[in-house]
Structure 1
């Protein structure tokens, strides 16, 4: 008899997607239901998700929001760099403050674009 235990992805009884599970939940699942994954207690969430997906042959075909909006994000970051140079060249405090606020708004926009679901 072999020590290899055959486990199907459906047999895990997941209530939510792997990416939405916490690191603690992933570790517990690996230790209890997936004995072929060793060293689960010392791995990060990203490593555990990657190992589980590799084990069951799951591929990520869906692009992330950051990948979808990459062009827009890069344009906004270029604008931010321009504003930072203008801010450095500004002579009075009011002009620097205005540029700082514009940069802050652009930062928030880039974060929102990367986060859109």
Structure 2
């Protein structure tokens, strides 16, 4: 599984995960408006990236959470009603209606 993040502020340099570790174990960067798929769940690298901010006074966060993502085979086994999943196999954000996964048009996927 991965977590998809939207870059809302261009990172000046790659953000290291975990922070402060030299050399970094992993590094991420993106340009404003771009998306990245971060391996793992929200509690891993994604959480570090979501808390990263521009260090200037009033600086913004670099990323916002779009949701879980991955191929069709990685869809949650026991989704909650209304849960979203960005399916990279079909190239669409899907929502669970209580019985099946559907895209925004209502088509079952």
What TM-score, normalized to structure 1?
0.21
Higher helix share: 1
What TM-score, normalized to structure 2?
0.22
Higher strand share: 2
Return the index of the structure with the highest Cα Rg: 1
